Amino acid sequence: MSVLLSTTQTDPSVPPRPREEEILDSIRTTFAERGFDGASMQELARAAGMSVGNFYRYFPSKAAMVEALIRRDLTEVDQKFSEVLQAPDPFLALRYGLHQRVAEESQGCGDGTLWAEINAAAARKPEIAAVVQGMERDISRYLTLVFARITGLSQDAAERRFGAHATMAVMLVKAVAMQGNRGENPQRADLIKLVQRIIDVILDEVAAAKAKE
């Protein structure tokens, strides 16, 4: 999930420039293969097909790269949540979208390896932690916006009442993404179904608030 972050001062309405897009595509793979700390600026520049000096003009630090990756991903997240809000039944659209995301991440279709590296770096580097935490808060705010639409509550009321629900949903998807498709696991299918059931419990509690209003 994937955003804007007051902490990182990003804005999903401002997409990266074309050259930045190319660089971000190249460094995603390098980060995933070499690790956040293992990938040197020289290697990242080489992967982007440019000199180190020119590379620094675009991204002066790894934190700046993470912020740019998040800004780009949040543009996609913004679009997906807009589609949910515009759906005839936002509740069903949100549940379907979360189920699909969990299923895709469990098969290694997302950026689980990359985000595992970034989260490991966040545990050691406060500037990376600030970016990641800001992303998660923003995705939680997207969720509470949908919760507000489902329940008829104001966004502030939805955040107060269901902020923990949104945070838990983010944690579940993130955990599945970081685990990814790690070799053979006979319990993977059962695990994914369990995560999806927990998501249903979270969403059902939100939906129940509508009946009480």
**Residue 120 neighbours by CB under 8 Å, 6+ apart:** 36
Cα–Cα distance, 127 to 70 (Å, whole number)? 14
Q: What is residue 6's predicted lDDT score, i.e. its pLDDT? A: 26
For the chain, the average pLDDT equals 83
Q: What angle do CA 151, 212, 165 make, to 5 degrees?
A: 50
CB 118 within 8 A of CB 27: no
- Structure-token pair, residue 51: 């000199």
Domain 63-212 listed as CATH 3.40.50: no
The H or E element containing residue 116 is helix 112-122
How far is CA 34 from its chain centroid? 21
Q: Which residue has the higher pLDDT, 53 or 183?
A: 53
CB 19 within 8 A of CB 58: yes
pLDDT band at 12 (very low <50, low <70, confident <90, very high): very low
